[in-house]
């Protein structure tokens, strides 16, 4: 299922509940436009348990009211669960009446929003704290005292609210060195240090922190002989090195690098990167797991085969300790495709999914997981005419649930941040532009299409509101296993579940509080008695949709992977004006 959006919203507006012709699973789009003649973008996103989203990136403003000089400033936005803008803040320090770029956003345990980034053309790093209402709480600065600092490569927040940034900056010899900085919960600089280029890292790309404030960094370390090594370093809460561990080939000319690192629920350190043997070989995906003491639990790799070259972009870890790696794979001679590799908790290959794009260059930038085996990967697709942003959901086993494209083919659109939110909702953040126009900062919320609730349940004369839900996976090849259950309806009433394949609807069900939410034509499934105790809301209707449609001539059969189905329940309600009532409704996408 591809959903392509051909335009973006006006500054600060909501593209909420996009028209169903554009795809029922896009809950909303929210975009922001800064000064005319400039581009704006989001780079990172964090989501609170309430579904509130927070994004950071960069916008451009005039230096002053009378100036025509456009200055980059750190952009931070809070977006409500319905897609409306709660608040927008810009921040800058230093030259040009203040400048800055936002690279990472996270939440402290108190719920305060923390943004990390850089200012003064990347010379220094900055962290900014905002209260939940958008009020500026504090800001903190690290002066690299260097000829150059890259933007922070990664940021993390520990259980006490302390903030950590890592990245590379210039050393006195005009080279580059990896560095890590720790700020307190109120933005005060606690410590900073350069990483030792003989025992730690030459370049740092990712970090994470544990509950004790220990810091885990990954990047590359030159072994002093002739190869770069994929390396993970542990520092204690004061910044003192605890251990260094390297992996990857030691052959002369070999090169490997760690890209991202995280912790699972058991405190295991999981890192991902890529590397090759001697210079004649192509790089593969590499993954490694350590315990907190630095003992190697497993090493794993993935080779796309046929001389393909893989480069890792990001990783995500779920509640079961599975690692999801987003990578770009080069299929000779010049086809770049998106690749997702999932490693099980023991390091074995769980699944891989390679998405061929023969005429385009597709590069994932970010990956997120819901903790239950589903992963979302997002990035950009480059064609001969322009860039489009893509977001793709992968179910357990790697099957693509849905594939969303954003932006016109001749524009410039991409995603750099992603997150899983409550209620099976996913979020991506990036940039969206039409051809020959300024780009806007874009945030999109996507509902998991496995089974997404929509519409409002009617209330029966007894006061019952029937809710339909689903369990299992609706597979085209299955003969059972996807069950639709409607609960909370009047007991001892006749009812049934029906479905359609023509889209959503919101049509009043006569003079009642119910709505018909499935566009005709519809297919009725068998009539049932709801059971339960009379005069209570304990009634239930249950039907196995896969079993009903298997081998039948029912509406839509035979179903194919990617087909979208809409289902709702109907039941008798004699005292009401129409003598019947309806539940809410569900969308679901048929899987392979």
- Could you report the per-residue pLDDT of 449-488, keeping only the tens digit for each? 777 788 999 999 999 999 999 888 788 889 998 999 999 9
pLDDT digits (tens, 9 = 90+) for 405-435: 999 888 899 999 999 998 778 999 999 988 7
Report whether pLDDT(399) > 80. Answer: no
Question: Cβ contacts of residue 284 below 8 Å, gap of 6+?
Answer: 274, 275, 276, 301, 302, 303, 304, 310
Helices (H) and strands (E) in the chain, counts: 1, 45
Q: What is the DSSP string of 100-150?
A: -EEEEEEE-TTS-EEEEEEETTTTEEEEEEE-TTS-EEEEEEEE--SS-BP
pLDDT digits (tens, 9 = 90+) for 226-253: 889 999 999 999 999 999 999 988 888 8
| pLDDT of res. 418 | 98
| pLDDT of res. 13 | 29
Cβ pair 519, 499 in contact under 8 A: no
Report for 34-38, 290-294, 444-448: range of highest mean pLDDT: 290-294
Distance in angstroms (rounded) separating the CA atoms of residues 581 and 577: 10
Domains in the chain: boundaries: 42-167+175-194, 452-589
| pLDDT of res. 174 | 65
3-state SS of 315-362 is: EEECCCCCEEEEEEEEECCCEEEEEEEEECCCCCEEEEEEECCCCCEE
Strands 483-489 and 539-544: antiparallel
| pLDDT of res. 145 | 82
Report whether pLDDT(23) > 90. Answer: no
**Which residue did the predictor score with more confidence, 148 or 391?**
391
Cβ pair 231, 220 in contact under 8 A: yes
| pLDDT of res. 16 | 29
* 26: enclosing H helix or E strand: strand 26-32
Report whether pLDDT(18) > 70. Answer: no
Report whether pLDDT(12) > 50. Answer: no
Report whether pLDDT(507) > 90. Answer: yes
Cβ pair 570, 498 in contact under 8 A: yes
| pLDDT of res. 379 | 97
Distance in angstroms (rounded) separating the CA atoms of residues 363 and 380: 6
pLDDT digits (tens, 9 = 90+) for 116-175: 999 987 679 999 999 999 999 999 999 988 877 789 999 999 999 999 999 999 877 767
Tokens matching residue 299: 């090493």
Of 206, 80, 94, 81, the residue nearest 133 (C-alpha): 80
Name residue, tokens 């919101």: 506
Distance in angstroms (rounded) separating the CA atoms of residues 432 and 259: 26
Distance in angstroms (rounded) separating the CA atoms of residues 340 and 398: 8
Of 132, 59, 41, the residue nearest 412 (C-alpha): 41
| pLDDT of res. 489 | 96
* 545: enclosing H helix or E strand: helix 545-549
Give SS3 for 414.
strand
Give SS3 for 482.
coil
Report whether pLDDT(568) > 90. Answer: yes
Distance in angstroms (rounded) separating the CA atoms of residues 244 and 44: 29
Distance in angstroms (rounded) separating the CA atoms of residues 75 and 44: 11
Name residue, tokens 């561990």: 245
Cβ pair 458, 514 in contact under 8 A: yes
| pLDDT of res. 3 | 30
Residues in the chain: 592
Cβ pair 218, 259 in contact under 8 A: yes
Question: Cβ contacts of residue 73 below 8 Å, gap of 6+?
Answer: 58, 59, 60, 61, 90, 91, 92, 98, 99, 100
Give SS3 for 563.
coil
| pLDDT of res. 101 | 95
| pLDDT of res. 287 | 97
Order of strands across the sheet with 539-544? 467-471, 483-489, 539-544
Cβ pair 305, 341 in contact under 8 A: no
Residue 502 has a CB neighbour count (10 Å cut-off) of 14
Q: Does domain 452-589 have CATH number 2.20.130?
A: yes
pLDDT grade for 8, boundaries at 50, 70 and 90: very low
CATH topology of domain 42-167+175-194: Neuraminidase (2.120.10)
Using a pLDDT cut of 90, give the percent of the chain over it: 70
Residue 434 has a CB neighbour count (10 Å cut-off) of 18
Report whether pLDDT(277) > 90. Answer: no
The sign of the dihedral angle between the CA atoms of 502, 504, 509, 515 is positive
Report whether pLDDT(104) > 60. Answer: yes
Tokens matching residue 364: 């994932």
C-beta pairs of 533-536 under 8 Å, 24+ apart in sequence? 533/491, 533/492, 534/491, 534/492, 535/462, 535/491, 536/462, 536/491
Report whether pLDDT(372) > 80. Answer: no
Distance in angstroms (rounded) separating the CA atoms of residues 397 and 119: 43
pLDDT grade for 14, boundaries at 50, 70 and 90: very low
Q: How far is CA 258 from CA 228, 247, 290, 292, 352, in A?
A: 10, 9, 14, 18, 20
| pLDDT of res. 122 | 66
| pLDDT of res. 21 | 24
pLDDT digits (tens, 9 = 90+) for 310-330: 999 999 999 889 999 999 999
Cβ pair 500, 520 in contact under 8 A: yes
The sign of the dihedral angle between the CA atoms of 252, 256, 257, 263 is negative
Q: What is the mean pLDDT of residues 102-106?
A: 98
pLDDT digits (tens, 9 = 90+) for 215-227: 999 999 998 888 8
Give the mean pLDDT of the chain.
90
| pLDDT of res. 5 | 25
pLDDT grade for 280, boundaries at 50, 70 and 90: low
Distance in angstroms (rounded) separating the CA atoms of residues 330 and 363: 10
């Amino acid at each position: 299922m591809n959903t392509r959006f051909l335009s973006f919203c006006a500054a600060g507006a909501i593209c909420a509940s996009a028209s169903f012709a554009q795809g029922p699973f896009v809950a909303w789009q929210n975009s922001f436009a800064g000064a005319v003649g400039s581009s704006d973008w989001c780079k990172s996103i964090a989501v609170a348990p309430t579904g509130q989203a927070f994004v950071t990136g960069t916008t451009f403003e005039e230096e002053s009211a009378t100036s025509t000089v456009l200055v980059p400033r750190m952009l931070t936005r809070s977006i409500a669960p319905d897609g409306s803008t709660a608040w927008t803040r810009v921040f800058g320090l230093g030259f040009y009446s203040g400048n800055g770029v936002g690279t990472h956003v996270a939440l402290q345990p108190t719920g305060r929003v923390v943004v990390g980034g850089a200012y003064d053309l990347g010379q220094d790093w900055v962290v900014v704290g905002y209260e939940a209402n958008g009020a500026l709480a504090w800001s903190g600065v690290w002066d690299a005292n260097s000829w150059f600092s890259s933007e922070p490569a990664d940021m993390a927040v520990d259980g006490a609210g302390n903030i950590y940034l890592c990245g590379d900056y210039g050393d006195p010899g005009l080279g580059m060195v990896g560095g890590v900085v720790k700020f307190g919960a109120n933005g005060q600089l606690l410590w900073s240090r350069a990483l030792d280029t003989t025992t730690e890292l030459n370049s740092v790309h990712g970090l994470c922190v544990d509950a004790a404030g220990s810091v885990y960094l990954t990047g590359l370390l030159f072994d002093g002989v002739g190869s770069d090594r994929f390396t993970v370093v542990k520092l204690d809460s004061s910044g003192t090195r605890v251990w260094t561990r390297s992996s990857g080939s030691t052959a002369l000319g070999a090169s490997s690098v760690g890209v991202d690192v995280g912790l699972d629920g058991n405190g295991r350190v999981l890192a991902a990167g890529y590397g090759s043997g001697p210079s004649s070989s192509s790089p593969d995906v590499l993954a490694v797991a350590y315990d907190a003491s630095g003992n190697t639990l497993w090493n794993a790799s993935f080779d796309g085969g046929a001389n393909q070259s893989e480069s890792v972009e990001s990783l995500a870890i779920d509640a079961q300790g599975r690692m999801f790696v987003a990578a770009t794979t080069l299929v000779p001679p010049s086809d770049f495709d998106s690749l997702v590799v999932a490693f099980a908790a023991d390091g074995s290959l769980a699944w891989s999914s390679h998405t061929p794009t023969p005429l385009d260059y597709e590069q994932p930038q970010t990956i997120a997981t819901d903790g239950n085996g589903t992963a979302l990967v997002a990035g950009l697709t480059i064609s001969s005419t322009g860039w489009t942003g893509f977001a793709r959901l992968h179910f357990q086993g790697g099957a693509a649930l849905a594939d969303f494209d954003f932006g016109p083919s001749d524009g410039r659109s991409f995603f750099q941040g992603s997150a899983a939110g409550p209620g099976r909702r996913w979020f991506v953040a990036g940039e969206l532009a039409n051809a020959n126009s300024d780009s806007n900062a874009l945030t999109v919320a996507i509902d998991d299409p496995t089974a997404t609730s929509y519409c409002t349940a009617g209330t029966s004369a007894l006061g019952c509101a029937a809710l339909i839900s689903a369990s299992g996976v609706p597979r085209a090849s299955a003969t059972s296993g996807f069950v639709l259950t409607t609960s909370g309806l009047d007991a001892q009433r006749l009812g049934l579940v029906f479905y359609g394949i023509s889209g959503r609807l919101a049509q009043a069900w006569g003079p009642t509080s119910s709505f018909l939410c499935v566009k005709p034509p519809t297919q009725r499934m068998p009539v049932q008695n709801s059971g339960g105790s009379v005069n209570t809301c304990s009634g239930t209707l249950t039907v196995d949709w896969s079993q009903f449609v298997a081998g039948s001539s029912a509406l839509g059969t035979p179903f194919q992977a990617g087909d979208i189905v809409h289902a709702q329940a109907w039941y008798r309600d004699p005292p009401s004006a129409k003598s019947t009532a309806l539940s809410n409704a569900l969308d679901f996408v048929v899987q392979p």
